[in-house]
């Protein structure tokens, strides 16, 4: 039986596209809450890690005191949804752009998804593009890519939900064709694009709300 309960879903509100995700979650049947402190994280059933700048988000996770509580929640099976930089932070490993900062990698992912993600794989801001993706279980999804990552490698148990089509509209990058841009492993979902920026395109958010309800 499909439940219609309104789960409390947080959006990591340290940096990036927070307001857009909050609005999309509300439209998708969740009680959406910004999460900036450990006590706010403890009060939600699932968490969205939004797009933004993954090195800045890594620093802010440390300074806010959220890193260890979030590691614990993810390890205990909390549903999570990462978009763009959020995908980078949920990965097991990250390649490209991981410059050392103070003796540590500039991006320190949580390892909630058994994937290797290539940061800024599609290029710079000027290389941003939009295209239609065939998303498993959801059908065609309009996707906006902005300095986006892609998945280089998936481990056992990771379901590939979407790839860039053979001729991405406006991308101008032959190497982009066929790249993995949406994955799911258990209650953890990640996409390389920005579903929160597409008007009326809450199907990915609704999919995550259903993941949280089922969990």
H/E run at residue 55: helix 54-64
How high is the pLDDT of residue 124? 60
Q: Which is the catalytic residue, given 21, 194, 205, 207?
A: 194
The answer to the question of whether 119 is labelled as a binding residue is: yes
CA distance 204 to 190: 10
The model's pTM is: 0.90
Return the structure tokens found at 112.
Answer: 């909630």
What's the CATH class of domain 8-214? alpha beta
Is 207 designated active site?
no
How high is the pLDDT of residue 214? 94
Rounded mean pLDDT of 7-27? 95
Confidence of residue 1 (pLDDT cuts 50, 70, 90): very low
How high is the pLDDT of residue 99? 59
Beta bridge partners of 95: 118
Per the listing, tokens 């949580």 go with 110
Confidence of residue 126 (pLDDT cuts 50, 70, 90): very low
The answer to the question of whether 116 is labelled as a binding residue is: no
Backbone angles phi, psi at 41, to 5 degrees: -65, -40
CA distance 128 to 150: 13
H/E run at residue 210: helix 203-214
How high is the pLDDT of residue 154? 97
How high is the pLDDT of residue 97? 56
pLDDT at residue 122 above 80? no
Rounded mean pLDDT of 2-29? 90
How high is the pLDDT of residue 177? 81
Q: Which is the catalytic residue, given 84, 202, 205, 207?
A: 84
pLDDT at residue 167 above 80? no
Rounded mean pLDDT of 7-28? 95
Q: Which is the catalytic residue, given 20, 21, 196, 207?
A: 196
How high is the pLDDT of residue 125? 53
Rounded mean pLDDT of 36-55? 95
Q: pLDDT digits over 178-202, tens only?
A: 899 999 999 999 999 999 988 767 8
How high is the pLDDT of residue 123? 62
Is 84 designated active site?
yes
Rounded mean pLDDT of 120-133? 72
Torsion angle of C-alpha atoms 128, 205, 85, 121, degrees rounded to 10: -40
Instruction: Map residue 67 onto helix, strand or coil.
Output: helix
Is 194 designated active site?
yes
Spell out the domain ranges in the chain. Answer: 8-214
Rounded mean pLDDT of 5-15? 94
The answer to the question of whether 52 is labelled as a binding residue is: yes
């Amino acid at each position: 039986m499909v439940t219609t309960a309104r789960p409390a879903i947080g959006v990591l509100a340290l940096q990036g596209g927070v307001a857009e995700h909050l609005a999309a979650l509300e439209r998708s049947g969740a009680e959406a809450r910004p999460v900036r402190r450990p006590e706010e994280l403890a009060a939600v059933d699932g968490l969205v890690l939004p797009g933004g700048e993954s090195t800045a988000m890594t620093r802010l996770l440390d300074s806010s005191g959220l890193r260890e509580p979030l590691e614990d929640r993810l390890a205990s099976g909390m549903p999570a949804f990462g978009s763009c930089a959020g995908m980078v932070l949920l990965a097991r490993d990250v390649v490209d752009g991981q410059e050392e900062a103070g003796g540590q990698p500039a991006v320190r992912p949580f390892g909630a998804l058994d994937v290797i993600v290539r940061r800024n794989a599609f290029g710079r801001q000027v290389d941003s593009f939009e295209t239609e993706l065939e998303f498993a279980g959801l059908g065609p999804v309009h996707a906006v890519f902005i300095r986006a990552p892609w998945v280089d490698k998936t481990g056992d148990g990771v379901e590939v939900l979407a790839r860039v089509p053979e001729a991405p509209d406006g991308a101008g990058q032959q190497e982009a064709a066929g790249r993995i841009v949406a994955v799911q492993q258990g209650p953890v979902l990640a996409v390389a694009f920005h579903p929160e920026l597409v008007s009326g395109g809450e199907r990915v958010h609704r999919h995550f709300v259903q993941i949280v309800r089922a969990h």
